[in-house]
């Protein structure tokens, strides 16, 4: 159940609370991505210490490895990975987009060729929801078709039609005890198609709604537009989730546009390339400029990496390919994303979100490298 606690008077931003059988999720919330039952480079203790309320798993990837037999034998995904807080599972719908070269869309679902060994895997509404039921996730996403942002209007209409039809089929499937089903709105940047898709899904009375088809390689203004034309058609008493977003600056702006839930692979993905997020933007720790800098990644940051190690040391680890280096940057980046969301919630509660939003935008400078990494994340499997 979602409770709207407070509405920001200066924007569409909302303070809320989503209650699941495994715990309460305070929103707005950032959800670390654990595609294959693990948030890359982080363990559960670290995730809990940095304030993670909920994490993600992926239906397509988990169905291939380790497979449902193993996860069911373990007692479900929570027990398999020893995570006691809520989990949201993607339906495999994003892989319809990201694995476009090894899949074939049919009227009742999608036939994949495994990216590992070429074996056939069919996912449709029935199969996707059955897998998510066995996973035992707290929030299960419906199976949808995510068209590329460059798709023609005719192609998008077909994708929206399938998304609506498949959503209705997903609702008919049995679910795990206490499991929420979230609908996904598609339509690229076509306002009328977004409106139609949203209205038809809302009529089905899902437990929450996602804005899909964003962060799939489109320019940032187009992504913001897709959110802006979708949000007014979503009910105020249900959680709103922008899938696959975004950078810290984007998160602040998307909260201002009425979104409650976010996920993104960026914190750990760019960390593996030696890029750190800070309040002033990003910088490359591998660069020679920090070779003799003996301060933390970011002054004042309470994360383990910043409290215990210097930029110079972490740069050394990265440049000699020591695993600890990418772990430390992953810890810092993930902590930073979660801290930003915690600050947003505090400012919404105190009525000072407008000031926070203005200050964040003035300080944070996006980089071309991060935008390029975000685009790469949109077109390749996590």
Q: What is the pLDDT of residue 368?
A: 53
Which residues, 6+ apart, have CB-to-CB distance to 33 below 8 Å?
39, 55, 56, 263, 264, 265, 268, 382
CA distances in angstroms from 165 to 108, 171, 227, 230, listed in the order given: 9, 10, 22, 19
Q: For the whole prediction, is pTM greater than 0.85?
A: yes
Structure confidence at residue 100 (pLDDT): 79
Pick from 264, 288, 307: which residue ends a domain? 264
* 3-state class (DSSP) for residue 187: coil
**In whole angstroms, what is the distance from residue 64 CA to residue 81 CA?**
16
Same domain for 242 and 280, yes or no, is: no
d(CA 363, CA 272): 25
Judgement on whether residues 348 and 227 belong to the same structural domain of the protein? no
- Confidence at 381, pLDDT banded by 50, 70, 90: very low
Residue 121 carries which DSSP code?
E
What value does the mean pLDDT take over residues 344-366? 96
Cα 348 to Cα 3, 25, 66, 183, 248, distances in angstroms:
15, 16, 41, 26, 17
Give the pair of three-digit tokens for residue 28: 């707005």
Report if residue 185 sits inside a domain: yes
Query: So what's the pLDDT on residue 378?
Result: 56
Find out whether 180 and 207 touch, Cβ atoms under 8 Å.
yes
Same domain for 285 and 256? no
Residue 101 sits in the same domain as residue 160 = yes
Which H or E run contains 180?
A: strand 180-185
Both 256 and 332 in one domain: the answer is no
Confirm whether 254 is domain-assigned. Answer: yes
What number of other Cβ atoms are within 10 A of residue 3's Cβ?
Answer: 13
State the Cα–Cα distance between residues 320 and 95, nearest whole angstrom. Answer: 34
Token reading at 33? 């991505």
Q: What are phi and psi of 278, to 5 degrees?
A: -140, 175
Question: What is the CA 302 to chain-centroid distance, rounded?
Answer: 24
Instruction: Confirm whether 209 is domain-assigned.
Output: yes
User: Confidence class of residue 94 from pLDDT cuts 50, 70 and 90?
Assistant: confident
In a domain, 113, yes or no: yes
Asked which of 239, 264, 289 is the last residue of a domain, the reply is 264
Q: What backbone torsions phi and psi does residue 6 show, to the nearest 5 degrees?
A: -160, 140
In this structure, the answer to whether residues 187 and 292 fall within a common structural domain is no
Distance CA 160, CA 191 (A): 12
SS (H, E, C) 281-340: EEEECCCHHHCCCCCCCCCCCCCHHHHHCCHHHHHHHHHCCCHHHHHHHHHHHHHHHHHH
pLDDT confidence band for 372 (50 / 70 / 90): low
Q: What is the pLDDT of residue 374?
A: 55
- Residue 370: pLDDT band (50, 70, 90) is low
* Both tokens assigned to 27: 């929103």
State how far the Cα of 329 lies from the Cα of 270, in Å rounded to an integer. Answer: 9
Tell me the per-residue pLDDT of 10-24, one tens digit each, with 9 for 90 and over. Answer: 999 999 999 999 999
Characterise 41 by phi-psi region: left (phi > 0), alpha (psi -120 to 50), beta (else). left
* C-alpha span between 304 and 287 (Å, rounded): 22
Q: Which residues lie below 8 Å from residue 42, measured CB to CB, with a gap of 6+? A: 32, 268, 327, 330, 331, 334
pLDDT, tens digit (0-9, with 9 covering 90-100), for 211-252: 999 989 899 999 999 999 999 999 999 999 999 999 999 999
Does residue 373 fall inside a structural domain? no
Is the pLDDT reported for residue 367 higher than 80? no
292 belongs to a structural domain: yes
Q: Which of 206, 229, 264 is the last residue of a domain?
A: 264
pLDDT digits (tens, 9 = 90+) for 143-180: 999 999 999 999 999 999 999 999 999 999 999 999 99
pLDDT at 340: 98
Paired with 121 in beta bridges are 112
Per-residue pLDDT at 121: 85
Catalytic residue check, 90? yes
User: Do 345 and 231 reside in the same domain of the chain?
Assistant: no
Q: Which two tokens stand for residue 236?
A: 């105020």
Question: Is 379 within 8 Å of 96 (Cβ atoms)?
Answer: no
Q: Could you tell me the residue range of the domain that residue 327 belongs to?
A: 271-368
364: pLDDT strictly greater than 70: yes
Q: Are 260 and 284 contained in the same domain?
A: no
Same domain, residue pair 145 and 280? no
| Same domain, residue pair 144 and 223 | yes
Output the domain CATH number for residue 223.
3.20.20.105
Domain assignment present for residue 380? The answer is no
Q: Does residue 376 fall inside a structural domain?
A: no
Indicate which residue of 8, 138, 260, 263 is catalytic: 263
Confidence (pLDDT) at 14: 98
Q: 90, 138, 207, 260: which one is catalytic? A: 90
Q: How many domains does the chain have?
A: 2
| Per-residue pLDDT tens digits for 256-284 | 999 999 999 999 999 999 999 999 999 99
117 and 257 housed in the same domain: yes
Residue 118 is predicted with a pLDDT of 82
Q: What is the pLDDT of residue 366?
A: 79
Same domain, yes or no: 282 and 194: no
Q: Return d(Cα 372, Cα 363) in angstroms, integer.
A: 21
Segment 344-357 shows an average pLDDT of: 98
- Mark residue 178 as left, alpha or beta (left: phi above 0; alpha: psi -120 to 50; beta: remaining): left
The gap from C-alpha 60 to its chain's centroid, in whole angstroms, comes to: 16
């Amino acid at each position: 159940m979602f409770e709207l606690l407070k509405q920001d008077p200066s924007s569409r931003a909302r303070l809320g609370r989503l209650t699941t059988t495994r715990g309460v999720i305070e929103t707005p919330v950032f959800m670390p991505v654990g595609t294959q039952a693990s948030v890359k480079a982080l363990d559960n203790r670290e995730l809990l210490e940095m304030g993670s309320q909920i994490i993600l798993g992926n239906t397509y990837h988990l169905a291939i490895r380790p497979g449902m037999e193993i996860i069911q034998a373990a007692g479900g995904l929570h027990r398999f990975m020893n995570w006691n807080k809520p989990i949201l599972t993607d339906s495999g719908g994003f892989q319809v987009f990201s694995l476009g070269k090894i899949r074939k869309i049919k009227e009742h679902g999608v036939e994949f060729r495994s990216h590992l060994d070429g074996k056939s895997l069919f996912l449709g509404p029935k199969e996707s929801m059955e897998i998510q039921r066995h996973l035992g996730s707290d929030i299960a996403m419906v199976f949808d078709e995510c068209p590329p942002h460059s798709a023609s209007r005719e192609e998008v209409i077909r994708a929206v039609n399938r998304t609506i039809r498949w959503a209705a089929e997903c609702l008919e499937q049995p679910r795990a005890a206490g499991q929420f089903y979230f609908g996904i709105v598609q339509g690229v940047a076509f306002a009328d198609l977004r409106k139609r898709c949203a209205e038809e899904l809302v009529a089905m009375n899902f437990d929450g709604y996602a804005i899909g088809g964003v962060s799939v390689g489109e320019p940032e203004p187009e992504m913001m537009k897709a959110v802006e034309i979708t949000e007014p058609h979503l009910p105020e008493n249900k959680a709103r989730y922008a899938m696959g977003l975004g950078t810290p600056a984007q998160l602040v702006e998307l909260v201002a546009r009425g979104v409650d839930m976010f996920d993104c692979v960026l914190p750990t993905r760019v960390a593996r390339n030696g890029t750190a997020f800070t309040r002033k933007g990003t910088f490359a720790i591998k660069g020679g400029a920090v070779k003799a800098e003996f301060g933390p990644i970011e002054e004042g940051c309470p994360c383990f990496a910043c409290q215990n190690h210097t930029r110079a040391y972490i740069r050394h680890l990265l440049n000699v390919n020591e695993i600890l280096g990418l772990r430390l940057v992953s810890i810092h980046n993930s902590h930073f994303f979660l801290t930003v969301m915690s600050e947003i919630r505090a400012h919404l509660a105190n009525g000072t979100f407008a000031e926070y939003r203005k200050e964040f935008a003035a300080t944070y400078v996006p980089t071309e490298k991060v935008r390029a990494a975000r685009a790469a994340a949109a077109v390749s499997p996590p």
